[in-house]
Structures are given as structure tokens and as C-alpha cells.
């Protein structure tokens, strides 16, 4: 498969872009809320010849089928991704996860370590939303359901998704304009996924169960995921590595792709070599 197509998964149809090289180790890209699999576009040419890049849109988001649920939970999305891995018959995947994608990735890696070769998280944590923030965001979602994000609400979303340094950089304006237009055009069916993120339960207890090599990026301008939350992930996943990013907000792969993508691919390549040279279990 080369390019995007709809793939039946469980009780829905997920839109999946797949570079299709069956002989290469796969990267499964898990996108942010409000964005979609295209946020990983720059990864595709960089990974060419090294990795197969698979970019699904989560249930009810992007070009996937609209959700039929009032709330799309993180567990539901994790189950969808596990089913997608099995439907495509993939070997252990390298997970790259942004924002809500990290909540999904940790659930996959903890519950199905056999499916996960490595994990890279950015703009992510696994805490539940604090009560005051939950109330604020619930009010926002209720207010914007009929109108979408416009005016000040759209400005606020852009300030959450992208750091101040990026927003003030003239060279980033085309990228910012693209995603501002995208967020302003989100379909009402996306709100079920938004509620799933706002109402997400904590998955901190799952962190010690993650066995895959893990790299976590910490962005100093990420207002959505405080640095304390990022340290919590690193401190609780055995052997996890922390990479600091300066002048970067919630969406590192869009804000500083030239920094994030090479280091991510090198980390995954190292994890893949370790996987391929691991001794077979006794009796295998």
C-alpha cells in the first residue's frame, strides 16, 4: 500500500497513509488532538529507505470515519491502533506520539509490549486533566460545538498548540497558517475525541509496565503539558531518556522538524538494531 486509504478496524474505518515498504521496520505515527496524521509529513522523506511510515487518523478525526460515540476514549483509540497493527500484520512498531498520541502510545506499549519496538513521545504526558482545567475546557467545547473555533477561541488554540517562539517566527507562518485553517474547519464529529482527551483518566500507573526503549522530548514553551508531567513520564518508564528542546511548544515535529526528526530516527534505528540482535528466548 502506498498512499492513503480507508481500512476497516473494529467497528470503524480509519484513514491510513502508508509508505508501504513491507521489508522495512514500521513507524506508527500517533497524532495530536486537533491535528491529524499529516503532522508527520516531514518524517516520510527523512525515513525513506530506513523505515516504513504509517500515519493513521484516530477514530472520528482527520479523514477517518466520523465517530458514533459521544466520547472517544484513549482506551478506545489504543484498541483501534492495536487492531490496526494486527490487521496490517506488522512486526513490532516504533511509536512516535504527539500530545494525545502519547496517552494512546503508553496504553499500547504497557498492555502489548510484544507490539512495540520503541516509543518516542513529544508534547505528551499520561496524567488526567486537573479539575479546574477540565471544567474550563468542557465549557470551551460546549461553547464551540456549533460554531467551531473562531476568533479568540481559535487564537487560544494556536497558542496552546504552538510555542511563542514559533508563533513569532516569520519562517513558520506558512506552517502556522495551514494548521490554523485546519483547526478552524474541524468537523463537529471531532468534538467526541476532544471530550475523550479532556475527560481522560490517568495512565501513570501503566508507565512502569513499558518495556520498550523510550525517548521523551521536553519543550520549554509547552503550556499544555507542564514540564513536571514530562519528568513524571521519564522517571517512571524504566530506562527512558529525556531530550530538552528550547524555544519549542506543544508540537515539536512541526516547530523544529530539523532537530526532532533526525534524533528520533537515530533513536529508533538503535532500538531496531538491539531488537534484531536480541538472543532468541530459550526453547524458541
The residue assigned the cell 513569532 is: 168
Check residue 282 and give its pLDDT: 57
For 129-163, what is each residue's pLDDT tens digit?
A: 888 888 989 999 999 998 999 999 999 999 999 99
Evaluate whether 1 touches 20 at the Cβ level (below 8 Å).
yes
Q: How far apart are CA 171 and CA 122, in angstroms?
A: 22
Check residue 154 and give its pLDDT: 97
Q: In what order do the strands lie in the sheet with 241-245?
A: 3-9, 12-18, 52-56, 26-30, 93-98, 116-122, 214-219, 241-245
Q: DSSP 3-state assignment of 167? A: helix
For 175-206, what is each residue's pLDDT tens digit?
A: 999 999 999 999 998 999 999 999 999 999 99
Q: How far apart are CA 80 and CA 59, in angstroms?
A: 8
Average confidence score pLDDT of the chain? 95
| 7, β-bridge pairs | 14
Residue 217 has φ and ψ, to the nearest 5°, of -90, 135
Taking residues 89-97, what's their average pLDDT?
98
Amino acid at each position: 500500500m502506498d498512499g492513503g486509504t480507508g481500512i476497516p478496524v473494529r467497528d470503524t474505518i480509519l484513514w491510513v497513509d502508508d509508505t508501504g515498504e513491507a521489508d522495512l521496520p514500521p513507524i506508527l505515527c500517533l497524532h495530536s488532538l486537533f491535528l491529524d496524521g499529516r503532522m508527520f509529513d516531514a518524517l516520510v522523506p527523512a525515513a525513506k529507505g530506513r523505515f516504513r511510515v504509517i500515519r493513521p487518523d484516530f477514530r472520528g478525526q482527520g479523514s477517518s470515519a466520523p465517530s458514533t460515540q459521544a466520547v472517544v476514549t484513549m482506551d478506545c483509540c489504543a484498541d483501534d491502533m492495536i487492531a490496526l497493527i494486527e490487521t496490517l500484520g506488522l512486526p513490532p512498531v516504533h511509536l512516535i506520539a504527539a500530545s494525545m498520541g502519547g496517552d494512546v502510545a503508553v496504553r499500547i506499549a504497557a498492555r502489548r509490549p510484544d507490539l512495540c519496538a520503541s516509543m518516542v513521545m513529544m508534547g505528551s504526558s499520561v496524567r488526567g486533566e486537573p479539575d479546574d482545567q477540565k471544567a474550563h475546557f468542557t465549557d470551551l467545547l460546549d461553547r464551540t460545538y456549533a460554531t467551531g473555533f473562531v476568533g479568540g477561541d481559535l487564537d487560544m488554540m494556536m497558542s496552546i498548540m504552538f510555542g511563542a517562539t514559533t508563533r513569532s517566527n516569520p519562517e513558520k507562518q506558512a506552517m502556522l497558517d495551514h494548521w490554523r485553517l485546519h483547526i478552524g474547519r474541524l468537523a463537529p464529529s471531532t468534538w467526541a475525541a476532544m471530550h475523550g482527551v479532556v475527560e481522560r483518566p490517568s495512565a501513570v500507573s501503566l508507565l512502569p509496565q513499558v518495556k520498550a526503549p523510550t525517548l521523551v522530548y521536553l519543550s520549554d514553551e509547552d503550556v499544555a503539558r507542564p514540564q513536571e508531567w514530562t519528568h513524571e513520564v521519564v522517571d517512571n518508564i524504566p530506562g527512558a531518556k529525556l531530550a530538552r528542546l528550547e524555544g519549542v511548544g506543544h508540537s515539536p515535529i512541526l516547530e523544529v522538524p530539523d532537530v526532532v526528526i533526525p534524533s528520533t530516527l537515530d533513536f529508533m534505528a538503535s532500538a531496531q538494531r538491539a531488537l534484531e540482535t536480541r538472543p532468541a528466548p530459550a526453547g524458541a
